[in-house]
Amino acid sequence: MGSISQEQLHSIIFSKETGWQELIYELVRTEQLDPWDIDIVLLTKKYLEMIERLESLEESAFFISSKVLLAAAILLRIKSEFLLNSIPSIKELLGEKKTEGTTSQAFAFDFDYEKEELEILPRTPLERKRKITLQELMEALEKAMKTEQRRIKKKVVKTYDFEFILPKKRISIKKKISDIYKKIKEFFLRNKRKLTFTELVGNGNSREEKIACFIPLLHLDAQKKIYLRQEKPFSEIEIWLRET
């Protein structure tokens, strides 16, 4: 049984098409694994060793992707399931069917496998109920990868919605217009000078508060109850009360 040489490892690193699939195919070839009866324990062990070797090389600093690491976690899950003999076949691991007393989790799990936890498993694989072919293994990994990515995406979207989408406040535009107009009239009862937009807004310096004040002014101006004056773009807005 062979192993990947340093030259082959460099070839993997600089290949533009290298992904988790290519790593597995390369291991099957170099370790001379039977594609009709994959030794999942050996394949997982060699896959993890390859990742460790890649991480130790400076050239691979930007090589190891999240998918390569995710495939490693899924391989560990498949390996542990078969070692514990808790599922009869790769089909059940894919979630295509269930047997009585067995629950399929469709790979919706957290990848927190520790080395110490894995060492409590038997060193020699228990007898399997059927063989795992390379094609079945790749299909299982592909499906698990998509399922996990959807789960992560859903979780991220849910977090984004929760943290950044603020509840909308309902504002009665008629009431807001009435309140602003009342405030303007009260100002001009006490003062003969012009009223500026900054004075009208007062402590409401947020963008939402400024908009909530400006829109009623446009309505009042259209109704000929006030008139607005601005000498140049972005300068202070002057508010004048029209005589009624």
**Do 95 and 114 share a domain, yes or no?**
yes
Q: Last residue of a domain, which of 146, 164, 182?
A: 164
According to the model, what pLDDT value does residue 57 have?
Answer: 61
Cβ neighbours, 10 Å, residue 197: 16
User: What are the distances in angstroms from CA 27 to CA 8, 23, 53, 140?
Assistant: 11, 6, 14, 17
Query: Using 50, 70 and 90 to split pLDDT, how confident is the model at 141?
Result: confident
According to the model, what pLDDT value does residue 21 have?
Answer: 84
Mean pLDDT in residue range 108-125: 40
Residue 1 lies inside a defined structural domain of this protein: no
Q: Which two tokens stand for residue 213?
A: 């004040």
How large is the angle between the packed helices 134-164 and 20-30, nearest 10 degrees? Answer: 150
pLDDT in tens, 14-47: 454 467 888 888 888 888 888 888 888 888 888 8
Q: Last residue of a domain, which of 130, 164, 198?
A: 164
Residue 120 burial by Cβ neighbours in a 10 Å radius (0-12, 13-18, 19+): exposed
Q: What is the CATH number of the domain that holds 229?
A: 1.10.10.580
> What domain range includes position 139?
6-164
State the pTM of this model: 0.43
Q: Last residue of a domain, which of 102, 129, 164?
A: 164
pLDDT in tens, 66-97: 777 788 888 887 777 776 665 555 555 545 54
Q: Are 216 and 176 in contact (CB under 8 A)?
A: yes
**Do 117 and 22 share a domain, yes or no?**
yes
State the total domains in the chain: 2
Q: In what order do the strands lie in the sheet with 195-196?
A: 195-196, 238-241, 226-229
